[in-house]
Structure 1
Amino acid sequence: MTAALLGPALTVPTPAQAAVASVQRVEWLTDRRVALTVFSPAMNTPIQVQMLLARDWHARPDAAFPMMLMLDGLRAQDDENGWTKDADAEGFYADKNVNVVLPVGGQSSFYSDWLEPNNGRVYKWETFLTKELPPVLERDWRTTDVRGVQGLSMGGTAAMNLAGRNPGLMKYVASYSGLLTTTTLGMPQAIEFAVRDAGGFESSAMWGPPGSPEWAAHDPYLLAEKLKGVSMYVSSGSGLAGSHDQAGEIPLLSENWAGTGLEILSRLSTQNFVTKLEKLAIPVQANYRPAGTHSWPYWDFEMRQSWPQAAAALGTEPGGAQCAAGGAIGSVVQVANWLGGCVTGEYAAGAGVVQDFMNGRVFHSAATGTHAVGGRIGGTYAGIGGAASPLGLPTGDEHGLPDGRGRMQTFEGGSIYWTPQTGAQVVRGAFLEEWGRQGFEGGPAGYPLAAEARTPSRDGAVQAFEHGTMFHSAATGAHRVEGFILDKYAQLGFENSPLGFPVSGELPLKDFGRATRFEGGTIYWSPLSGAFAVRPGPLADAWAAQGFENGRLGYPVSDEFTVPGGVQQNFQTGFIVVRDGRSEVHGV
């Protein structure tokens, strides 16, 4: 049961590791979209970074891929990057062979290292994105040192700054509606207004007062010469209403006044920046659109338009996948149209084959049949190793459960269950058998909350459910501990305590009491007495002779504790003392 545990490891940096960025948590959102929680020493906090994995991530497990860093706008949120929340980066890059990296958060930050904390944040984004994050991705996430960066608005400014301030770091940089002159007349005041309006920040905490050296050090216009040799793409609209705008009362203008003004500002600064590059004879692809405001549909369009140039700079093919679905897999795809188009051909998967699609994967073998796997269940399956994991190949299709709340899918070695509240979790082996005996999700345990994990000091495993936790060892089997008894078990040290592993589930006793038996004793609970452990020995024997909780002493109201010359345990109506192996029963 415990030889090959499933699920991502959670690592928390020790003080000695604090100077090194590390992944604390991995959550597979789909089979090719992953949320990493990366500890940043510079900011002394965990940062979420989502990745859209390259098209051939699963088909070529030994390959590494170039990186495209995508930066958000001024109002970046802490739950998801705007490129997947407000644009369709996930769909567009599904058939591209590049690892897309999406930092989450950084509102008003310009992705720079701020001079001082502000508004409750310690911003050291440049250090994180250029020094801390790349080694993590190269070491653990099959990402090469061939990098590009692109961003919109604030992110466009930051993209140029990151490339210009870190020569050699980026092969490609793109700014969509960025502010590419930050020190020209009125621009510092506009940036101050923007960061204050977006989140209550002070630009002086970022780069100091206008005119200070840090403003000049973060002006793409002044950094232009340092961008020589980098493939550049810049674009902006005109501010006039375009195809994605709601026309206002004034002809040619959008009702989005803020978007109109910001795009005009971006247009002017971008033109000035391009003029500077031309004077320096530095190539740049500039696209001035005849219409369009400062809004997501136009940035999504530019992401697509700029891709051929980005692909060339990153050394990957610009076209999508060249593939077709046929045979048994093709038959499934005709029914499961949610899969979208294929992105790879068929390739080996365990004892079968698999083919990747825009929104999932289809597995086939003669023994298990042909089944699609996608969504959060597909993400969890991919995260544990897919067909090469202890789960093996899928044996059924994903389907809803009778409670209307959850979904599940069966595999050769277990099942994956999902609800919006608990996520997608693997249940297998002895845990699955015991959970099934209790009624699966309809039983008292509810849905699984986490993957099984190895118990740290003893040979066993543990898995948390909504209503209790199951513990397993080869000697004791799998048993669930719940409620106040679980709290007491935790207080004593779980299986590392003298109690060891549980050997029973929870048993009903008189007066609404409960008990769970363990290798080294029993925890008893009742509403009036609370939860306490009774361990084998003369003291327990004396209590047993009185009739346990049914006798004159009732339930325990303390754990065993030392007294001069022996040990004592208190009960509802008395206590027992053991000295020199002899028990004394005292009633009250």
Structure 2
Amino acid sequence: MRGIFVVLGVVLSSLACTGAAAAGTLETVVVPSRFVDAKRVALGAPPPGGAPRANSLAVNVLLPDGYAANPRGRYPVLYLLHGAAQAYDHWAADGYGEIRKRARDFPGIVVMPQGGVAGFYSDWVGPGGPRWESYILRELIPAIEARYRVRPGRRWHAIAGLSMGGYGTMYLAGQRPDYFGSAASFSGVLSPQDDQQLDLVAQSILGLAIPDFRYREIFGPPDGFNAIGHNPSLTLGNLAATRLFVSAGNAAPCAGDDVAPTDFTGLGPQGSPAFAPPLAALEGPALFYFLETLVRNETDRFIARSEAAGLKPTKLLGCGIHWWDTFNRGFDAARRWDFFAPPPKAPAAWTFTTAARSGVAWGFRFSLDRPATALTVLERRGRRLRGTGAGTLRISARGGCRLTATLPFDRRLPKRCS
């Protein structure tokens, strides 16, 4: 970790609000990375009216009202992820997320990181590709906790996002169920691998609009182990102890919604000419209607599989297209649902599935001796730990717990492995 630095300082110190507490301070910081080279990845352009900025892994952090006046206080944290063709500052921009108004009286810290134009919050399989998952889980979270007074405990750590960020929400929450107690998706891409016919159409459209979107360089073959391991609707055991919220529209605008959004400025200078004026006035709205049809189908599939697995996601399904009116309705409903309500207790028995080479499963840190060639599945039942996959797995936990085993294995854990 090369540290975390304030680069733009305090953007907003407070907002006055009649009859309600003011919103807190909005800071912009940079969290550099050894996993993502900001100069080599496509980062979304500023929202309309936003100031030009250099390519960097910038993060907006909204601090709750009274944070500075309470130097001993610790606060819940919500990681809020942006969508494709957007950037870290869209959640705070006027006419978009307007988080300073939307999160007025919010009891916790809101962290809005950079995720790339189409990074999908994943470690890409393509040679030299960015490793967004490693950045978020191994660099961003520790940096935020080192700088800000984050309250410990799963209950006080939530993650949410829209569209691509909805995907990142459920995927990252599933990779760190020991850290995140609640996860909320707003029009999220929740089943990106197993409905290939529909997704291939989406990929061709996004390939035109977002040159950085290359499915196989991100996930590999659609029927491969890595794509399966990155499909939240196929790894639901990882979310068995996580509170879940999902929302999506039906591609029909609600009353008062923007029915013809055409803003593609988030694509930046690499945006496709196919979506530049005057064609954007015709093609743009059609894309936003189509995308909500896609994510609604994927959300429905995620819900059905979740409920079949015994999970109980809270749902908001109604009108809306793939635009900020719909995303913001989802966020507002998730606030009422409460990002920081108590999650289920950490389970004594659990199953964890991953395509990653290393990670954390309920306090057990693991790493393979070589890049993964198959899904790794760990299953704990009492004192027994079972694993399937390929390669040699090294596991460690608190108390001096150490284990090295060749997959597959079935071991009785030593007493020091709590």
User: What TM-score comes out, normalization by structure 1 length?
Assistant: 0.46
Q: 1:207 to 1:111 in 2, by over 3 A?
A: same
Q: 1:106 to 1:115 in 2, by over 3 A?
A: same
Partner of 1:260: 289
Map 1:68-467; keep pairs closer than 5 Å.
Answer: 68-77=78-87, 80-85=88-93, 86-116=96-126, 122-145=129-152, 146-183=156-193, 184-201=195-212, 202-243=214-255, 244-246=257-259, 256-289=285-318, 291-313=319-341
Partner of 2:36: 43
Deviations 1:276-332 (A, max 9, x none): 11111111101111x2111111111211111132344379xxxxxxxxxxxxxxxxx
**Unpaired segments ≥5 residues, structure 1:** 1-19, 249-253, 316-588
- Secondary structure, in 3 states, of the residue corresponding to 1:97? coil
The answer on whether the counterparts of 1:239 and 1:264 sit within 8 Å (CA) in structure 2 is yes
Partner of 1:28: 10
Q: In 2, Cα distance between the equivalents of 1:21 and 1:172?
A: 29
The answer on whether the counterparts of 1:22 and 1:40 sit within 8 Å (CA) in structure 2 is no
Q: In 1, Cα distance between the equivalents of 2:209 and 2:149?
A: 35
- TM-superposed deviation, 1:216: 0.5
Q: In 2, Cα distance between the equivalents of 1:312 and 1:138?
A: 17
Structure 1 runs of 4+ with >6 Å offset: none
Q: 1:198 to 1:127 in 2, by over 3 A?
A: farther
The answer on whether the counterparts of 1:177 and 1:294 sit within 8 Å (CA) in structure 2 is yes
- Secondary structure, in 3 states, of the residue corresponding to 2:291? helix
Q: In 1, Cα distance between the equivalents of 2:293 and 2:188?
A: 11
Question: Which amino acid letter does the alignment assign opposite residue 25 of structure 1?
Answer: V
Q: In 2, Cα distance between the equivalents of 1:259 and 1:47?
A: 27
Question: Which amino acid letter does the alignment assign opposite residue 186 of structure 1?
Answer: Q
- TM-superposed deviation, 1:203: 1.6
The answer on whether the counterparts of 2:78 and 2:159 sit within 8 Å (CA) in structure 1 is yes
The answer on whether the counterparts of 1:22 and 1:136 sit within 8 Å (CA) in structure 2 is yes
Question: Which amino acid letter does the alignment assign opposite residue 124 of structure 1?
Answer: R
- Secondary structure, in 3 states, of the residue corresponding to 2:231? coil
Partner of 1:393: none
The answer on whether the counterparts of 1:161 and 1:218 sit within 8 Å (CA) in structure 2 is yes
Deviations 1:416-474 (A, max 9, x none): xxxxxxxxxxxxxxxxxxxxxxxxxxxxxxxxxxxxxxxxxxxxxxxxxxxxxxxxxxx
Q: In 1, Cα distance between the equivalents of 2:284 and 2:206?
A: 23
Q: In 1, Cα distance between the equivalents of 2:248 and 2:290?
A: 12
Deviations 1:183-207 (A, max 9, x none): 2232441453254234312221111
The answer on whether the counterparts of 1:165 and 1:223 sit within 8 Å (CA) in structure 2 is no
Question: Which amino acid letter does the alignment assign opposite residue 216 of structure 1?
Answer: I
The answer on whether the counterparts of 2:59 and 2:111 sit within 8 Å (CA) in structure 1 is yes
Q: 1:63 aligns with which of 70, 73, 78?
A: 73
Give the number of equivalent residue pairs.
285
- TM-superposed deviation, 1:147: 1.3
Question: Which amino acid letter does the alignment assign opposite residue 223 of structure 1?
Answer: T
**Unpaired segments ≥5 residues, structure 2:** 14-24, 39-55, 262-282, 344-418
The answer on whether the counterparts of 2:115 and 2:132 sit within 8 Å (CA) in structure 1 is no
Q: In 2, Cα distance between the equivalents of 1:37 and 1:131?
A: 15
Q: Give the structure with higher Rg (CA).
A: 1
Q: 1:68 to 1:100 in 2, by over 3 A?
A: same
- Secondary structure, in 3 states, of the residue corresponding to 2:31? strand
- Secondary structure, in 3 states, of the residue corresponding to 2:333? helix
Deviations 1:378-435 (A, max 9, x none): xxxxxxxxxxxxxxxxxxxxxxxxxxxxxxxxxxxxxxxxxxxxxxxxxxxxxxxxxx
- Secondary structure, in 3 states, of the residue corresponding to 2:157? strand
Question: Which amino acid letter does the alignment assign opposite residue 212 of structure 1?
Answer: G
The answer on whether the counterparts of 2:189 and 2:295 sit within 8 Å (CA) in structure 1 is yes
Question: Which amino acid letter does the alignment assign opposite residue 143 of structure 1?
Answer: V
Deviations 1:461-506 (A, max 9, x none): xxxxxxxxxxxxxxxxxxxxxxxxxxxxxxxxxxxxxxxxxxxxxx
Q: In 1, Cα distance between the equivalents of 2:338 and 2:132?
A: 23
- Whose strand fraction is larger, Structure 1's or Structure 2's? 1
Q: 1:279 to 1:302 in 2, by over 3 A?
A: same
Q: In 2, Cα distance between the equivalents of 1:296 and 1:127?
A: 28
Percent of paired sites with the same residue: 25
Q: In 2, Cα distance between the equivalents of 1:173 and 1:69?
A: 9
- TM-superposed deviation, 1:150: 0.8
- TM-superposed deviation, 1:274: 0.6
Q: In 2, Cα distance between the equivalents of 1:89 and 1:314?
A: 24
Question: Which amino acid letter does the alignment assign opposite residue 174 of structure 2?
Answer: G
Q: In 1, Cα distance between the equivalents of 2:111 and 2:122?
A: 17
The answer on whether the counterparts of 2:160 and 2:166 sit within 8 Å (CA) in structure 1 is yes
RMSD: 2.3
- Secondary structure, in 3 states, of the residue corresponding to 1:242? coil
- Secondary structure, in 3 states, of the residue corresponding to 2:4? strand
- Per chain length, whose mean CA-contact separation is higher, i.e. which structure has more relative contact order (CA < 8 Å, sep 6+)? 2
Q: In 2, Cα distance between the equivalents of 1:101 and 1:107?
A: 18
- TM-superposed deviation, 1:21: 4.3
Q: 1:271 to 1:55 in 2, by over 3 A?
A: same
The answer on whether the counterparts of 2:90 and 2:97 sit within 8 Å (CA) in structure 1 is yes
- Secondary structure, in 3 states, of the residue corresponding to 1:49? strand
The answer on whether the counterparts of 1:195 and 1:203 sit within 8 Å (CA) in structure 2 is no
- TM-superposed deviation, 1:55: 2.1
Q: 1:247 to 1:238 in 2, by over 3 A?
A: same
- Secondary structure, in 3 states, of the residue corresponding to 2:196? coil
- TM-superposed deviation, 1:234: 0.3
